[in-house]
Structure 1
Amino acid sequence: MVKKRKHIRRSKGQQKESRPWYDLPVDILNLICSLLPIVEQIRFRSVCKNWQLVEPPHFERNVPWLLCHFRGDYGPNSSFHIPSPNQTHIVSDNVGIEYLKYKDAKICASKHGWLLLQQSSSKELLLQYSNNKEAFFFNPFSTEVIKLPNMDITFNRRATFSSPPTSPDCLCFAVHSSKSLDRIRISMCSPGDLQWRTTTVVGFNKSILDVVYSNGRFYCVFTGGVLGAFFVEDCSWSMLTSTKCKHKKFLSWSRLKLIEDCNGDMLLVSYTDNYYVFKFDMSDLVWKDLHNLGNQAIFLGCTSFAIETEGKTSALAGRIYYHRHYYSQFNYYSLHTDETCDVAFGHKGQGFEDGWKIVKNLAKVSVMISLLRVGFYRRSCPRAESIVKATVARRFRTDKSIPAALLRMHFHDCFVRGCDASILIDSTRKSQSEKDAGPNFSVRGYDLIDEAKRNVEAVCRRTVSCADIITLATRDAVALAGGPSYAVPTGRRDGLVSNPDEVNLPGPSISVIQSFQFFRAKNMTMDDMATLLGAHSVGVAHCSFFLDRISGPQPDRTMDPALATKLNKICGAASARNPDPTAFLDQGTSFTMDNQFYKEIRMKRGVMKIDQELANDRLSSGFVSRYALNSTLFRTRFAQAMVKMGRIEVLVGKAGEIRQNCRAFNPRRRF
């Protein structure tokens, strides 16, 4: 017996309207997209504007994609291999067709998602363009090309660059050995320059093998493991090892790759039939055998590099990834287990070293797409950013010191467990929070964040995180103080832990290298550190932070005498009501976010030790000089560094929570 279906008649007003595909709920779009392969997820988000709201695919932090370019049966293709998880994706590559005019270019270096290329040095091209070799940057994802001045020598992969070519401080560096090997020629330029700047260094009998950039220096390794360094700050050259450097594993026919590891140390990989790794000892100025990489993995290519593995990527630890010569195939050798393994197989080509038209290279390609994005609350809470901005502006009218307070709060929050607003949690009888840690005793501005949160909650309940409010409020305060106005990505979630024992922040009396190690642990560069310390342009310091520099048995005699006298007078006025007075870190423009701070420390007028060391130390003094002379450069880099700091270990997606009250975790639900 078949049951008859009941037909329900609906009136005209009750007819169910069909919803267009472009206007599906974001939750449904996220579910659909999550079931697709990674490459299709990227394409999915480019269908229409509404679909761009879908959460981007998640990639393991700091894990590179290995990029191969090969010619298939139906034209050029690109093969992306992701080491963790072990996946390979092959996509059609129209870029290869569009840029056939660059088919004779060879890759010299690759990092930050950019390739540095130069025309091939084949015999025909040498005859035709002997003094006119074209050099340029190319982004294989956006297809953007940034041209450099023509060059009269071939890089031959002895070239690199300091930072992305779109940044104002990008510097290209190329080194070339003379035919007689008695001298090297160093060439430098930045995007936008009309010609290369060159200098010659004599006294060699070695061939240059590899070059790498690290913290204001370009390191060059020669045959036999000889290591030299070029200092960008004063354009000086220094040999770090003897020119007669000799190691039994540095054979004349072995290939050497120079690498900066995750701790800022120089590593050297020697490979013929076997792989050997060495670490450069800066104190003894010698190479020492390294038998264990710890939690690091090494990737060899035109630009070699190391990554730190953790969590799901811990299986990569101890591996040396490399490219097989005659196939588009990636392999790795495990230094820990002495095993070799094929990890991805593509199509037969003419080898890794044969240039642009066959294989691009084994490179660290920055394709990690963050879940943070500018305008995250555009639909869910359109007024969020304007509400925070108005709240900060009202406070700034009565308290010009609020930018310094918010900058300090933002820094202290991001450098402990990431930018998750854990610093805002109040202590309870049962547990203490980060507020009870010594470095946070003098942090203020909590009431401003509370006010901004209340104003936002009145419009959009439990939508905007406290972590985003700190970030937005700091950005707005910087602009009000005369600093740069910049867009910040949002979408952070609030943390679920606030532990005072985890607060380990650098003190005011540490050295530059100690401070840098702290920043390095958060994936920040020396440039980032020098830039972010420029926030001291609007800050103050308690006398207890610098008293040892102006009094005591060994006062700092290098401090400007007039400043020392002024600080002694301020600190000498301590009383029972004010036992620890404060002094401005920038004596010139104390409430203005500008580059005056760098000018002050160049004149020995740094209040805290770390500030003055920034100008004295060779590792950082170059950044100080550039910022002191170029206000526009400082403003640009400060905005970039603030955005970068705001991405440190953020919680996104479904991690963490959106707090109702920034001072307390949300009550746990009981089922």
Structure 2
Amino acid sequence: MASQSFLRALVLCLVAIIGSTQAQLQANFYANTCPKAEEIVNKYVREHIPNAPSLAAAIIRMQFHDCFVRGCDASVLLNSTTNNKAEKDAIPNLTLRGFSFIDGVKSAVEAECPGVVSCADIISLTARDAVVATGGPHWTVTTGRRDGTVSKATEVNIPSPFDNITTLQGQFGAVGLDLKDLVLLSGAHTIGVAHCSPSVSIRLFNFTGKGDEDPSLDKKYAENLKKFKCKTINATTIIEMDPGSRKTFDLGYYGQVAKRRGLFNSDAALLTNPVTKSVLNQLLQGSVENFWAEFAKSMEKMILFNVKTGTQGQIRKQCAFVNN
């Protein structure tokens, strides 16, 4: 009787171990089920990103917005339905771009291996490959994520350009990221652009509600924005977050922030905390190669947050829709 109990316990233990192993992300997860998957993603990116290089920053931003809500499960890609307003229609996500690009990648992979590769993995692979294709850093993307089936606009509470350092620290901490990660992931702004939206104009024209300017902004930079970029609030005028080198994944963004020329309040916030300010200064004193290596570590950390694996979620046939 005792031996049977021991055998039963041993079997259960082995099943648990095997299940746990299968549920983990791993390098080349699709080696047997879709061996060309990552090659197809990379090929699509290399063929199309040169025609729209700004999408590299857009897709990193998409991944960021996805991972901060329910983890990295591609829930940000789901369309709203009659009975549900999805994440992509929440106010912070209305300016996201790149959905059709992700759909193009998904279609290319589906043509080779229908119903095998998740949209969540496609976002992670595409974001990495797009940055590399535009001359930026490479980071490791383990695969095996599954797609979420729930997407609610009411759950979208992500770091905002209006946020101060206390709020940012809390939001990053909630997804397993620390202040160093905050500084490093903000570095993606080196290839990003913005517009003269309220998140910018409020710092120029009405910072405390009295028609004043944000005193933390460099005066000459503010005057230049008012004169050439933000005469009025509009969503069409492009503002570079790293003027002069926005197409290069370099240290320029941190140099701008150090000069009090960070475009958003969340950029300026990096100078208001001793830890984030120290990290920023260390990056500026180091090499671009060091920045790339550290940025890669933070990206690898972020894209592991609360992923669905094993039998969780599903592999969506179309990224915008839950399978019937």
1:558 matches 2:213: no
Superposed, 1:135-174 pairs within 5 Å as: none
With over 3 angstroms needed to count, the CA separation of the structure-2 counterparts of 1:386 and 1:519, relative to structure 1, is same
Q: Please state whether the residue corresponding to 2:43 is helix, strand or coil.
A: helix
Q: 1:110-131: CA deviations, max 9, x gaps?
A: xxxxxxxxxxxxxxxxxxxxxx
The CA deviation at 1:660 is 0.5
With over 3 angstroms needed to count, the CA separation of the structure-2 counterparts of 1:470 and 1:623, relative to structure 1, is same
Asked if the contact 2:50–2:134 (Cα under 8 Å) also holds between the matched residues in 1, the reply is no
**Structure 2 partner of 1:570:** 229
The CA deviation at 1:573 is 5.8
The CA deviation at 1:506 is 2.0
**Structure 1 partner of 2:11:** 35
**Structure 1 partner of 2:47:** 394
Task: State the percentage of identical aligned residues.
Answer: 38
**Structure 1 partner of 2:71:** 418
The CA deviation at 1:35 is 3.0
1:621 matches 2:274: no
- The structure showing larger relative contact order (alpha-carbon pairs under 8 Å, at least 6 residues apart) is 2
Asked if the contact 2:50–2:133 (Cα under 8 Å) also holds between the matched residues in 1, the reply is no
With over 3 angstroms needed to count, the CA separation of the structure-2 counterparts of 1:482 and 1:55, relative to structure 1, is farther
Asked if the contact 1:421–1:466 (Cα under 8 Å) also holds between the matched residues in 2, the reply is yes
1:406 matches 2:64: no
Match for residue 481 of structure 1 among 125, 130, 134: 134
**Structure 2 partner of 1:467:** 120
Superposed, 1:80-95 pairs within 5 Å as: none
Query: 1-side partners of 2:122 and 2:297: how far apart?
Result: 19
Higher strand proportion, which one? Answer: 1
Query: 2-side partners of 1:41 and 1:504: how far apart?
Result: 35
**Structure 2 partner of 1:373:** 26
Amino acid at match of 2:223: T
**Structure 2 partner of 1:507:** 160
The CA deviation at 1:36 is 5.3
Q: Please state whether the residue corresponding to 2:112 is helix, strand or coil.
A: coil
Asked if the contact 2:139–2:299 (Cα under 8 Å) also holds between the matched residues in 1, the reply is no
Query: 1-side partners of 2:213 and 2:314: how far apart?
Result: 49
Query: 2-side partners of 1:57 and 1:658: how far apart?
Result: 19
Q: Please state whether the residue corresponding to 2:274 is helix, strand or coil.
A: coil
Asked if the contact 2:76–2:88 (Cα under 8 Å) also holds between the matched residues in 1, the reply is yes
Q: 1:476-522: CA deviations, max 9, x gaps?
A: 11212322112211000000101111011122122112101111111
Query: 1-side partners of 2:91 and 2:186: how far apart?
Result: 20
**Structure 1 partner of 2:245:** 589
Superposed, 1:262-281 pairs within 5 Å as: none
The CA deviation at 1:55 is 4.8
The CA deviation at 1:567 is 1.5
**Structure 2 partner of 1:447:** 100
Query: 1-side partners of 2:213 and 2:181: how far apart?
Result: 30
Superposed, 1:171-210 pairs within 5 Å as: none
Q: Please state whether the residue corresponding to 1:640 is helix, strand or coil.
A: helix
Normalising by structure 2, what TM-score? 0.90
Match for residue 603 of structure 1 among 247, 259, 264: 259
Superposed, 1:265-304 pairs within 5 Å as: none
Query: 1-side partners of 2:269 and 2:139: how far apart?
Result: 29
**Structure 1 partner of 2:6:** none
**Structure 2 partner of 1:633:** 290
Query: 2-side partners of 1:405 and 1:56: how far apart?
Result: 34
Asked if the contact 1:571–1:580 (Cα under 8 Å) also holds between the matched residues in 2, the reply is no
The CA deviation at 1:41 is 7.5
Asked if the contact 1:519–1:525 (Cα under 8 Å) also holds between the matched residues in 2, the reply is yes
Superposed, 1:511-530 pairs within 5 Å as: 511-530=164-183
Superposed, 1:16-35 pairs within 5 Å as: 35=11
Query: 2-side partners of 1:579 and 1:526: how far apart?
Result: 31
Q: In terms of mean alpha carbon deviation, does 640-649 or 385-394 score higher?
A: 385-394
Higher helix proportion, which one? Answer: 2
**Structure 2 partner of 1:173:** none
Q: 1:347-385: CA deviations, max 9, x gaps?
A: xxxxxxxxxxxxxxxxxxxxxxx7011110112111111
**Structure 2 partner of 1:660:** 317
Asked if the contact 2:79–2:88 (Cα under 8 Å) also holds between the matched residues in 1, the reply is yes
Q: 1:316-358: CA deviations, max 9, x gaps?
A: xxxxxxxxxxxxxxxxxxxxxxxxxxxxxxxxxxxxxxxxxxx
Asked if the contact 1:465–1:492 (Cα under 8 Å) also holds between the matched residues in 2, the reply is yes
Q: 1:27-81: CA deviations, max 9, x gaps?
A: xxxxxxx93536x977xxxxxxxxxxx65459xxxxxxxxxxxxxxxxxxxxxxx
Query: 1-side partners of 2:296 and 2:229: how far apart?
Result: 33
Q: 1:373-429: CA deviations, max 9, x gaps?
A: 111011211111111112122221111201111011000000001111111111122
Instruction: List, as ranges, runs of 4+ consecutive aligned residues in structure 1 with deviation greater than 6 Å.
Output: none
Query: 2-side partners of 1:420 and 1:579: how far apart?
Result: 29
**Structure 1 partner of 2:199:** 545
Query: 1-side partners of 2:150 and 2:265: how far apart?
Result: 33
**Structure 2 partner of 1:249:** none
Unaligned segments of structure 1, at least 5 residues: 1-33, 43-53, 59-369
**Structure 2 partner of 1:15:** none
Amino acid at match of 1:572: K
Query: 2-side partners of 1:558 and 1:412: how far apart?
Result: 27
Query: 2-side partners of 1:588 and 1:605: how far apart?
Result: 13
With over 3 angstroms needed to count, the CA separation of the structure-2 counterparts of 1:376 and 1:579, relative to structure 1, is closer
Q: 1:260-282: CA deviations, max 9, x gaps?
A: xxxxxxxxxxxxxxxxxxxxxxx
After superposition, the CA RMSD in angstroms is: 2.2
Asked if the contact 2:129–2:138 (Cα under 8 Å) also holds between the matched residues in 1, the reply is yes
1:645 matches 2:302: yes
Superposed, 1:299-318 pairs within 5 Å as: none
Asked if the contact 1:423–1:435 (Cα under 8 Å) also holds between the matched residues in 2, the reply is yes
Q: Please state whether the residue corresponding to 1:37 is helix, strand or coil.
A: helix
Query: 1-side partners of 2:222 and 2:13: how far apart?
Result: 63
Amino acid at match of 1:655: Q
Asked if the contact 1:372–1:489 (Cα under 8 Å) also holds between the matched residues in 2, the reply is yes
